[in-house]
Amino acid sequence: MIDTQDKCHSSVEELLAEKNQRYTTHRKSIVRVLFELSKPASLSEILAVASQRSINLPISTAYRNLAILEDCGVVRRLIASEDLGLYELAEALTGNHHHHLICEQCGDVNDLSSNSNLERALSRAAEMVMDQIDFQVTGHRIDLTGICSNCNKVDSA
């Protein structure tokens, strides 16, 4: 499990090299932002953080690089929000298998580390599926939905 940003960057560099991609300044900025946020972020959030640091990151470049990073296994694009792509560092990169907490009110998404209980129940379910119907399970996605602490405060106020 990658814990320092330096290790992260060198791993990314390798992953990109495997596909003959350069680890450019823009791409480093994106990875740095995602590493530091350590939660799924939309494109505009990524741009906002970059902007705070006086990094000019054009929209088209950001999208293109996120797609390339995804293709190289550095970034994962989540399907969690109704109408917005959310990006995070890929599990293959961080070594941190996890699921997500999604607030139904504000749409905020946060990581949630898994537990062996759950993972065991899931593998059993996957085995049953592969036995009973002809579907080859290779992964899973779990979201717990509800109301986040922020929205809870606002509601009770």
Partner DNA sequence: TTTAGTAATGAGAACTATTCTCATTATATG
Partner DNA sequence: CATATAATGAGAATAGTTCTCATTACTAAA
Q: Indicate the residue type of 125.
A: A
Q: Identify which range of 23-31, 39-47, 109-117, 149-157 contacts Zn ion by CB under 5 A.
A: 149-157
Q: Identify which range of 81-89, 112-120, 123-131, 147-155 contacts DNA by CB under 7 A.
A: 81-89
Asked if 103 touches Zn ion (CB under 5 A), the answer is yes
Which are the contacts of 43, defined by CB distance < 8 A and separation ≥ 6? 59, 62, 63, 66, 84, 85, 87
Kindly state the smallest distance separating residue 29's Cβ from DNA, in Å.
9
Q: Indicate the residue type of 33.
A: V
Contacts with Mn ion, 70-109, as mask; x by CB under 5 A: -----------------------------x----------
Asked if 67 touches DNA (CB under 7 A), the answer is yes
Which letter, b or e, does each residue of 7-40 get, where b requires 16 or more Cβ atoms within 10 Å of its Cβ?
Answer: ebbebbbebbeeeebebeebbebbbbbbbeeeeb
Distance CA 131, CA 135 (A): 9
Asked if 106 touches Zn ion (CB under 5 A), the answer is yes
Distance CA 114, CA 96 (A): 9
By CB under 8 A, name the binding residues for its own copies.
Answer: 79-82, 101, 103-104, 112, 114-115, 117-118, 120-122, 124-126, 128-129, 133-149, 152
By CB under 5 A, name the binding residues for Zn ion.
Answer: 103, 105-106, 108, 148, 151
By CB under 5 A, name the binding residues for Mn ion.
Answer: 99
